[in-house]
Amino acid sequence: MSIASPPVPAPAADPGTTPDIEALQRHFDDTIAAEHRIEPRDWMPDGYRRTLVRQIAQHAHSEIIGMQPEGDWLLSAPSLRRKAILLAKVQDEAGHGLYLYSAAETLGADRADLTDKLIEGRQKYSSIFNYPTLSYADVGVIGWLVDGAAICNQVPLCRSSYGPYARAMIRICKEESFHQRQGYELLLTMMRGTDEQRAMVQDAVDRWWWPSLMMFGPPDAESPNTAQSMAWGIKRHTNDELRQRYVDMTVPQAEFLGVTLPDPELSLDPETGRHRFGAIDWSELKRVISGEGAMNRLRLARRRAARDDNAWVTEAATAYAEKHAAEKRA
Amino acid sequence: MSEMTAEGGHGAVPLSGVPVQPEPTVSRRDWPLYEVFVRGKRGLNHVHVGSLHAPDAEMAVHAARDLYTRRNEGVSIWVVRSADVTASSPDEKDPMFAPSGDKVYRHPTFYDIPDDVPHI
Ligand SMILES: [Fe+2]
Ligand SMILES: [Fe+2]
């Protein structure tokens, strides 16, 4: 049996005896309680496996679709330096998707099948990628705010109870730091430029600030599944905790940059040292995620085209492999 | 509207109505799965880093280079078909590893040596 194959669903019992599910469940619970990792071939409850497949698959889809908003600027990068940086960043996002599909496969999923479910709209990706990138400043703001929010979400996932997911997240987090810094540096450069460039940065911040807050999901009161995921160790902090941490981290960065975050209610609470912020328009998140964002159809159409129009590449690679295997045999 | 949460890194996604069981599909390529091992630098062992699909071992090595060593993470790559890996079963945990569990005399700390013996 391969190390990547799905875990044995039932214990190896003597033929004719029924598996002791209660003992297995206890062993699983103890492993989680001890903060040890669950590994692919361990027994795990069905709900844990299903939740992980959903979470890892939709995370992977977000990385893959996330290549598109910035990819739109690859051919219009203002310098060779910026183009090389952006290309590396977009390529990283492809890598993130593939690390995650690899982790999902250890749970018995199949990555070609997951891709089909994405293209058919049956599995989703993060709503943030359904907004258009209107200027080059968006590239900087995405690196700063969107990758910054992703870092807040992802760092705790490095301690996920599921080993392959946690290991993928460690690798991803190392790379995300470059994403955020290249974005912030790009914005610093533009802010030192002309009035027009400063206005571009402010405009991009105005458009991306609220969607970046929505990335953390609805308020805790409306997230009944969070408790189970936290008990399983596959979610480490609630949506509101992560959002608050993100706001507190980002406000001083905005001040340094010299941009205004588009929230008149944003203020530091001197007692707690934390920032208060205005109400989020959740109807917008719901609209965008259910397909009414500016870019939903385009994102999926392009992913579909990448699969279908490039099928000849995989066919050619298969033919090449077969030819070489035949030559070796001869 | 189904429940959503910030599952995964890039933010809020729906939770209900998301199928998770594998189904046969048009795009399934039937390329075998390869496990990838990378030697970080000379003097270190190859370490398992993940897996990928490829039509053959040679192309698996090339894909592994692009995917797992974009930042000088390695000086050497091994790939092996996942199907060719033989692993111990987690259920054998006790009987499989028990023989080494009671052999404390295999560890240097088992032996009491007076503190004033040098270099031992
Ligand atoms: Fe990413
Ligand atoms: Fe990123």
Residue B35: strand, helix, or coil: strand
| Cβ A232 vs Cβ A48: under 8 Å | yes
Q: Other CB atoms closer than 10 Å to residue A183's CB: what's the count? A: 24
Q: What is the pLDDT of residue A16?
A: 53
* pLDDT over 80 at A79, yes or no: yes
Give the mean model confidence (pLDDT) for residues B55-70. 95
Average the pLDDT over each of A177-181, A212-216, A219-223 and give the range with the smallest value: A219-223
DSSP E strand boundaries for A208-306: 267-269, 274-276
pTM: 0.88
The count of structural domains within chain B is 1
Name the residue range of residue B73's domain: 27-84
- Interchain proximity B7–A11, CB inside 8 Å: no
Q: What is the DSSP letter of A77?
A: -
Could you tell me if residue B61 is inside a domain?
A: yes
* pLDDT over 50 at A2, yes or no: no
Which residues hold their Cβ within 5 A of ligand 1, which is an ion?
A 63, 93, 96
Q: What is the pLDDT of residue A232?
A: 93
Interchain contact A39–B (C-beta under 8 A): yes
> Which residues 139-168 on chain A approach chain B with CB closer than 8 angstroms?
146, 149-150, 153-154, 157, 164, 167-168
Q: What CATH number did the domain enclosing B48 receive? A: 3.10.20.520
* pLDDT over 60 at A12, yes or no: no
Residue A200 amino acid letter = M
Q: Other CB atoms closer than 10 Å to residue A69's CB: what's the count? A: 21
* pLDDT over 70 at A13, yes or no: no
Could you tell me if residue B17 is inside a domain?
A: no
- CA dist A286 and A306 (Å) reads 27
Give the mean model confidence (pLDDT) for residues A159-185. 95
Interface test with A, best of B3, B13, B16, B34 (most A CBs within 10 A): B13
Report phi then psi at A116, rounded to 5: -60, -40
Could you tell me if residue B74 is inside a domain?
A: yes
- CA dist B70 and B65 (Å) reads 7
Residue B66: which of B82, B80, B49 has the closest Cα? B49
CA distances from B72 to A169, A297, B41, B47 (A): 19, 37, 9, 15
Could you tell me if residue B42 is inside a domain?
A: yes
Instruction: Extract the tokens encoding A210.
Output: 């609220």
Give the mean model confidence (pLDDT) for residues A179-197. 97
* pLDDT over 50 at A44, yes or no: yes
* pLDDT over 90 at B6, yes or no: no
Interchain contact A187–B (C-beta under 8 A): no
Could you tell me if residue B75 is inside a domain?
A: yes
Q: Kind of pairing, strands B76-81 and B4-5? A: unpaired
* pLDDT over 80 at A273, yes or no: yes
Specify whether the backbone of B60 is left (phi greater than 0), alpha (psi in -120 to 50) or beta. Answer: alpha
- Read off the pLDDT band of A39 (50, 70, 90): very high
Could you tell me if residue B33 is inside a domain?
A: yes
ipTM attached to this prediction: 0.85
* pLDDT over 60 at A4, yes or no: no
Average the pLDDT over each of A27-31, A165-169, B80-84, B90-94 and give the range with the smallest value: B90-94
Q: What is the pLDDT of residue A1?
A: 33
- For the segment A298-315, what is each residue's pLDDT rounded down to a tens digit? 999 999 999 999 989 988
Could you tell me if residue B19 is inside a domain?
A: no
* pLDDT over 50 at A183, yes or no: yes
Give the mean model confidence (pLDDT) for residues A7-34. 72
Q: What is the pLDDT of residue A89?
A: 96
Instruction: Extract the tokens encoding A174.
Output: 């190392």
Which residues hold their Cβ within 5 A of ligand 2, which is an ion?
A 147, 176, 179
* pLDDT over 90 at B1, yes or no: no
Residue B69: which of B44, B36, B45 has the closest Cα? B36
First to last CA, chain A: 30
Interchain contact B109–A (C-beta under 8 A): no
Nearest residue, CB atoms, A55 vs list B7, B12, B59: B7
More confident residue, A295 or B26: A295
Q: What is the pLDDT of residue A127?
A: 87
Give the mean model confidence (pLDDT) for residues A112-121. 93
Ordered by where they begin, the domains of chain A are: 26-308 (1.20.1260.10)
Q: What does the mean pLDDT of chain A come to?
A: 91
Calculate ∠ Cα A131-A133-A138, nearest 5°. Answer: 115
* pLDDT over 70 at A8, yes or no: no
Could you tell me if residue B79 is inside a domain?
A: yes
Q: What is the pLDDT of residue B82?
A: 92
Burial of A35 (0-12, 13-18, 19+ CB in 10 A): exposed
